[in-house]
Structure formats: structure tokens, C-alpha cells
Structure 1
């Protein structure tokens, strides 16, 4: 009894101090050329052990590190992910001229320069964008006056109070260019995080706002906390939420489709509001594997062509299966290989009394091989004369 009392006592001593450590974190920090995943943007309180994910901003790609940070004792862990500019490579071949590169990375320009005696017709430069070089390759034609296309429609440099642009700053924003915003620490983004320069020279949608998080939480927070998030068929909570059993008001969890399933429709997140989780409309459907393949001299018998279904190989009459007969529809397609149907090999024919084969055919004998018989003079065939039935017998004619 004393031993049990001591164990309980020491455990209580070990656990008690941790209750004094701050267990919540504020909005995650901002980093250049990176942005927090959309699902975390409206959340400004994170519980101890909760993680957030980052992604590289437009025009950048991850080249090393881990893309998540965790709330530990009221502070965010260090983000090790690093993003670098995307490379566009060559802007193309300009006949009778060349491109003068100011760089070949995201945001850089390549100016078209024609050889002496040739004039430029087309856009003066191409810009390295997230999807590659913009526009089309111009042409250099003999003589004449240059026909440089007028400048494209541009949008003003966007900026919002208490906001930070995550996209690389450029001097000119053209149609279809995009910028991504996040708010400074202590402020919450209201509106769209990513804006696109429209054909009318205006940003679409309209610029968002960065409001003080205290103002927002005071107006929207009942004080109820939420327990374990609800179960969804064919889906599961993202890994970072699996062990968490208590969530504060405004905290959001995300779901993903289970292995072998893919999103069909609906939102994938739920928010703790007034002690209850908001509905999740995510619907996941089984992935389709399509055809399991073609079998020569046979076919597949399907239970279905979606995840979890099977396709069983069946050979035609006279053929036997070589290989595994069943293929399973997995998350990444049908497993195994298409089996083969080989013709059945028949045993050698025994000699027929008072008869002989009509000609000689060397074994082996495979399915559909035909053997003819020739009877000795004075005898007739008694019985069927095909190999698939009993061997014929021959008797003397009466």
C-alpha cells in the first residue's frame, strides 16, 4: 500500500508543474516567400501540440526542410522549410536575334533583341512566371519599322494596412499576375488571401483587411470548448489532430479522404463554435482503377472497378491460367500483372486397334489439335471420332 501511495504522489508532483506552462499559441509567424495554408488563416488561437502547415508562395518551390511548425508551451517551433525561386530556363529561340536575360528565375525578364537589319515585331520581353515564360516568342523581320506591341494592362501595387505580401515584389503587375497576403502578428485576415490582376487593371477580388485579432475574438467567442471531432465515413482527421482531445473556440480541424478514396465534393474542415463542431460537407468516393487489362483467350470477371474490388482472370475452354488469377483494385491502381491463358496440352494418343492415325504429327498436342484416323481394310469405326470424347474403337465389318 505504501508503494502505491508513493507512486501516485510522485506522479502528481511530475504533472502539476506542467499545468502552469502556457498551453496556447497565437497566430503563426510570417516568413518570406511562404504562406500558411488557407485553413489556418482565420484561426488565432492554437492549442499545445497543434501544428500548422506552410507552403511556398507563388513562384517558389520547396527544396528542403519540413513544412510544419508546432505549438509547444505557448511558443511556435522553428520552421525548417526553405523555398527558392522557380527557374524558367530558356525563353525560346529567337531567329535573327537573341534574348537578353536579366535572369531566368521567377519575376525576371528576357528582352528580345534583333540582329542588325532586322526589326522586332511582338512583345518586347517575356517574364518568368509561376507557369513559365509569359506571352509568345516575338519575331525579327527584315527591314521596316519596329512593331512592338503596346504595354499590357497593369494593376497598381497592392498593399493593405498591417498586411504582408508573401509573393515576390515586382515593379509591374500584369493581367493574371497574383499576389498573396498574410497579416502581421496580432491581426487576422478578413477576405481573400490571394488576389489576381484583372483585365480591367483592378485586383480581383477586392483587397482584404487585417483586423486586430482581439477585436474579432471578443465579438465572436461563447466560451465553450469542443471535444474529439466527429467521425466521417471514408475520411479521417489529419495526423496532427489525432491525439488531441480538447479544442478551444475558433479552432479548426481538417479532414482528408481515407486511403483509396478521393474528394468528390464539400469542404474538408470543421470549426469549434460554442462548444460544437460545425458540419463538414466533405464526401469521399472510392478511387476507380478502370480496366484490369486484356487476357488473350480469356477475360476478367469483375466485382467492380473501384478501390477494394477484385478482377478474376478466367480462361476460355481448353486454356489454363498461368500466373495469379486475382487482381485487387488498390489506391494506386490494380496490383499484380495480367495473367496468361495457355492452351491445354493433351496426353499422347495410345494406339488404336485395327486403325492408325492419318498422317503423323509430332507431340506435344495442344487444345484444338485435330487428329484423323485411317482404318485398316475391312474394318469400320464404331464410336465417335473426335479427340474430345472417348477414343474410337474399330471392329471388323460383318
Structure 2
């Protein structure tokens, strides 16, 4: 008679093994067997050892063209595994969106989603104004420009503007027309009865000037327009060989007229200087126009009285006319007293221009 015993051992993750039977005492044994894939994996890890494990690695300093690290991370070169750093947009860029943080994982930085855009400001539009100084386009962050109003307009606000991070200007000035306020004069007259005037009325107007006056022998005024705003300036330039006499610039005044009076253009010609006993030394040559400069010197034996340097003036005359005068030498003759049987007593020496010596002879009486 057979003795039968059944033993069951269930192992998690394993399958049942084969049955063994004894002739005398029948015993059935169920064992556990690991899956083949798991066996191979364990065998692979045992062979690779440390090479099969993921080791922690440092990260190099992360660099971005349009952004930079903040705080103490700016000075670091290496970062340990797990380090978390923060970026900000670089100078001249502004943040559009995305996360500014990234983490070092096994020698590699996680993706950074921060987006930075370069700051750009549009060209300022100031009606009745124009650039005076400052930066030129393109206008980036902190670009600075200065505007001024055209003649006849006055600025309300700050003329110096700075490009800000939000791509707008720090200020927007306004050029307002200059309005002249006038009060008419009043008089009181007595015709049988006394007339008392009413309070004078105040009027306002925007001043304009008509076309600038023309000047003979000159180019057209610059700028040349039909109507000019208050405080506008026009400039004149004479034609070749002509010289301007007066102010070259006129300004539109509050009475609607240009001031001062327009200039004239003159043909300036000075004659060749005639200096008796003198000759040219240096300077310009004919024809002598306005401001031509010449220098004269006297001939040998003559001395100059006056300035030898002369300038051709607007009235076509020279600034000076020197005179060359003869050099006169004055001499005093020397005298001696000699005795040759007679005594010679000289007269008082005479002063002459020729230098002659005069003697007087006296005979001694024995």
C-alpha cells in the first residue's frame, strides 16, 4: 500500500516545478522555478558589476546666449548632481515666458524653457519736432535720444527719452504752437463829452511769416518756403565774387516779419596799393577781393611810417596807407687845436648834415 504526501510551496513570481514519486512511500513535491528572462537579467548584472550602475556626475556651467545665471551661481564652474540653478534674461532682453530653472541630472542639464526677446523701441514720432542728438536706429534697451521742437513750437514735456524694457519710450513730449497774445492800445478822446473806453480785448494768434525777402546777387534763401513758422530762421549766401554785407540770417519775429533787415551782396575790389619808395613784400596778388591781405616794405634808404600790412575792406579801400620816408643821418664834426708858429683856436663846432670841419687861424703877436 502506498503512502501518499503532497507538499505545495508557492513562491511569488515563480512557476511550479516537476513531481517526484517513491515506490514505497509515494510523495509528490511541487518546486518553484524562476522565469528564464529574470535569470538572464540577474546573470547580466552580476557580470557587469559597477559598470551596470548609473553613477552621479557633475555638470559644467550652463551657458545661454540671451540669458545669464543669477546670484552666486555666476561665479561657479562645476555643479554637483542635483544642483538647481536659475536664469534671467540678459541685458537688452526681456522675458516672454517659460521656466527659468534647470537641474543637473547625471551630468546633463534638464531642458530650459525660459524665452527672452531682444528689446526694440520704434522711432519716436513727435509731430512738429525733430531729433537733436542721441542714438540712431535700431533703438535697443537704454538707447537715449533727444528731440527738439521746430521753429514756432514749444515743447511740453521732457525732450530726452530712454528706450525701456517694455519696448516703449520713457516719455512722449508734445510740440505745441507758440501763440502770441496781443492787447490793442486804447485812447480817450473828448468831443463835447468824455468818452471812456471799454476794457481792451485780448486776442491770440499763431504767428506766421510770408516768404523771405530776396537779395540781389545772392542765392535763394534757405530754406525757401511760401510760409514760415514763428522763430524760423532763413540764411543767405552771396554769389561767387560777391561779399555779404549785413546779417546772413533772418528770423521770423512775433510781428510776422523777418528781422533784422536783409543783407546786401557787394562786389569788392581794391586797387593795387601805390606806396612811393616802397614795394610788395608778401601777401595776396591781384585782383584784390574782400579781406585780401598784402604786406609792403620800404626801399633801402627809406623808413616806413605806418602799418605795412594792409587789408582790403568792404568799401574797396585798404585798411592803411603807409609812407616811406628818407632816412636822414645827422653828424657833429670833431675839432682840434694845433700850434704851428701860430696859435690855432677853433670856433665852436658847427653841426652840419655833411660832416665838414671848420677852423679859425689866429697869429700870435710878439
Q: State which structure, 1 or 2, has the greater radius of gyration over its C-alpha atoms.
A: 2
Higher relative contact order (CA 8 A, sep 6+): 1
